[in-house]
Amino acid sequence: MEIVSEEEEPPDTTPFFRASNIEKSLKLKKLYIKFEGASITGTQKDRISRLHARRAKALGYDTLSLASCGNYGASVSYYARVQGLGSVVAVPSGYSGERNAEIEQYGGTLLREDGKYENLVDMMRDLGNDNCWYDCNPGSQNSFIDFLGYENIAFEIISQLGHAPNFVAVPVGNGTTMTGIYSGFKKAYRMGQIDHIPRLIASSTDGGNAIVHSWKMKSRKIVDLDPLRLKESRANEPLVSYHSIDGQKALNAIYESRGFAGYVSDEEMIRTSSFIERLEKVQALPASSSALSVAVRVMRKFVDYPECVVVLTGRGKPWTTQ
Ligand SMILES: Cc1ncc(COP(=O)(O)O)c(C=O)c1O
């Protein structure tokens, strides 16, 4: 991907459309897709990486640092480069590394480290402190930026649809994206822009995710999983998580909005991603397609709440070859 200057960057707003073919095929009432895969590096992470890179520059940092499954790393290294800054990205060595070449292409320093993603977040926090790097990890002193960036997804949905839908489905890993979207709907409600807050639907991988696990256990408090029992795979890397860093906030959002959470298998994610491509002609990353799977389960149960927006957080090809 060619680096464009800040002036040439496209606006943040991502496509929103009615998924009429999926509606017909699955006999659903009103299904909409908010497609985050259309952003420059292909995931919702661009919304926050751009803000972090601008902030890092304004504060006088020369390097941004983080741990990542790959998507956030590619996005941060791209936007760091736009600002003329460096980036250091740690990716677990056991991960597929599908986006590693891209991270390096944007000038990022890639560290392939043993350990789980969560361990690498701690490692990068310490390394960043020692080296005076700007910390882009979720849960850092800078992560209020994440929520501000993701609130825009809610504001855009309201303006693109003209009102608040009954449901909004979002894939969760750390829960940061869902927390930001919920915060956006709450702000819009408080400002009188919408007359209700949508019920949130969280989707994740049956390889293990602390948010979905806690909701299924009916726990109000986030419960970590046993790291040894996680099943990581190429398809579920963005979502698998024994300790979701913004998990408590995301879980609160699900309970407060009277929402739902569900697991999806790798096979179903991959199948759903092909289904979306066949019917709606957008290439969605399998992990992000999990949102449609869980949304459909909920919509079938709650037929009196006909309108659902599915946030597809990432695009599929060319960097996935499922
Ligand atoms: C494409 C994609 N979708 C969803 C997520 C999950 O987002 P969050 O960690 O904010 O819950 C990620 C996280 O890496 C991702 O890369």
pLDDT digits (tens, 9 = 90+) for 166-216: 999 999 999 999 999 999 999 999 999 999 999 999 999 999 999 999 999
Start-end of CATH 3.40.50.1100 domains in the chain: 6-43+144-312, 45-135
Both tokens of residue 3? 């680096």
d(CA 101, CA 12): 25
The pLDDT, as a whole number, for residue 320 is 52
On whether the pTM is more than 0.85, the answer is: yes
3-state percent breakdown (helix, strand, coil) of the chain, nearest 5? 45, 20, 40
Asked whether the predicted pLDDT for residue 9 surpasses 80, the reply is no
d(CA 271, CA 281): 14
The pLDDT, as a whole number, for residue 318 is 64
How buried is 271 (Cβ within 10 angstroms: 0-12 exposed, 13-18 middle, 19+ buried)?
A: middle
How large a percentage of the chain has pLDDT more than 90? 93
What architecture is domain 45-135? 3-Layer(aba) Sandwich (3.40)
Ligand 1 centroid to residue 177 C-alpha, Å? 7
Fold of 6-43+144-312: Rossmann fold (3.40.50)
Which residue among 75, 145, 177, 234 is best mutated to probe the pocket of ligand 1, counting the most ligand atoms within 8 A of its Cβ? Answer: 177
What atom of ligand 1 comes closest to residue 180's alpha carbon?
A: 10
- Closest-CA residue to 275 (of 10, 46, 25): 25
CB of 287 closer than 6 angstroms to any ligand 1 atom: yes
Pair 5, 84: CB distance under 8 Å: no
CB of 65 closer than 6 angstroms to any ligand 1 atom: no
Asked whether the predicted pLDDT for residue 10 surpasses 70, the reply is no
CB of 288 closer than 6 angstroms to any ligand 1 atom: yes
Pair 191, 164: CB distance under 8 Å: no
The pLDDT, as a whole number, for residue 322 is 44
Pair 285, 12: CB distance under 8 Å: no
Ligand 1 centroid to residue 108 C-alpha, Å? 20
Q: Mean pLDDT across the stretch 132-140?
A: 98
Question: At 121, which amino acid appears?
Answer: V
CB of 203 closer than 6 angstroms to any ligand 1 atom: no
pLDDT band at 156 (very low <50, low <70, confident <90, very high): very high
CB of 149 closer than 6 angstroms to any ligand 1 atom: no
The pLDDT, as a whole number, for residue 162 is 98
Both tokens of residue 85? 């800054």
The pLDDT, as a whole number, for residue 303 is 86
CB of 238 closer than 6 angstroms to any ligand 1 atom: yes
pLDDT band at 31 (very low <50, low <70, confident <90, very high): very high
Pair 9, 82: CB distance under 8 Å: yes
The pLDDT, as a whole number, for residue 321 is 42
Q: Mean pLDDT across the stretch 136-161?
A: 98
